[in-house]
Every structure is written in structure tokens, then in C-alpha cells.
Amino acid sequence: MKWLCVALLVFLLPEDAPYRAGDDFEARLKFELKPRHAAPVAQGYSSLRSDIHQAPPLLPFLTIDFKVLRLYPGEVRVRIEDGMGETVLSRKVTEGMALPLVLGFTDDLKGHPDGYAYSIYFMTQDREVTSRVVIFFEENGIFRINGEPRGKI
């Protein structure tokens, strides 16, 4: 009886959609230097002096320009989820459409012990997933798309 239950579970569990071919999309990293605003600090004597005040440091901020180069027959929608499974974006998609993914400061991306991931799902009109692209940042800064290393941030 146990083996029957295990066999049914294996065959009935949903499978992940296959990875999308690399020549069907383009992902470009775009770095900008932006100030990170710190929380206000209680003012003391030294913080009242104007010569001590400095502008917040500029840190690298990452955005990925994800461009859909080719759609398969029947694909009309795209859904983007973060590593926690929360939907970041869901919309109709056309060939040549650019989808900007605002990821944040690179130090924050590297700071996750389990890595930082985005999943892009391509779907039919009935919202059946046909393929996916997984963008993953490891703790050491290695950037992967569908498991293939693409560089380091």
C-alpha cells in the first residue's frame, strides 16, 4: 500500500516547466550608482557641525533589462516571481518586449545565504506554464541564468 501511494505521488506531482532556450531572450545587467539613505541618527554635538556632514555613499544598484526575442506558439503572458514565490509582475507579452527587473543594491543580492532568485514563467492564454527562465545570484556574487554562470557582480 505504501508503494502504491509513493508511485501515485511521483506521477501526480506537478513537474517544473522546462528551461527556455537561451536564444529566445536577452538579459542585460544595468548598474547605476545610487545613494543608500541610512536611518536618521540622533544628533549630538559633533553631528551639528556642518563640516562633518557628508553625502551618503554611492553604491551599485542593479537592474536587469530582460527582452523577449521570440515567443512560442500560444504564449501570450509572462509572470515574474521572486525567490519567495511572490508575483512581481504579470502581464501580456509580445515579441521584442522589454521587461525591467529592479533588483536593488548588489550588496543586498550577495547577502542572502540561500542566494537570490527570480523566475520568469511564459504562459498560454489558459495560464498554463510552457517554459521558464531562472535568474539566480549566489552568495558569492556569481550570476546564473537557467543554471549557467553568466558572470559575477
Strands 75-82 and 58-68: unpaired
Question: What DSSP state is assigned to residue 89?
Answer: E
Q: How far apart are the first and last CA of the chain?
A: 51
At position 64, the amino acid (one-letter code) is I
Find the helix or strand (DSSP H, E) in which 9 lies. Answer: helix 2-12
Q: What is the pLDDT along the chain (153 residues), one digit of tens a residue?
A: 443 333 333 343 346 899 999 999 999 999 999 998 765 555 555 555 555 556 678 899 999 999 999 999 999 999 999 888 899 999 999 999 999 999 889 888 887 766 689 999 999 999 999 999 999 999 888 999 999 999 898
CB atoms within 10 A of CB 126: 8
H/E stretch holding 108 reads helix 106-110
Residue 2 is classified by DSSP as H
Domains and CATH numbers, the chain: 18-33+59-152 (2.60.40.10)
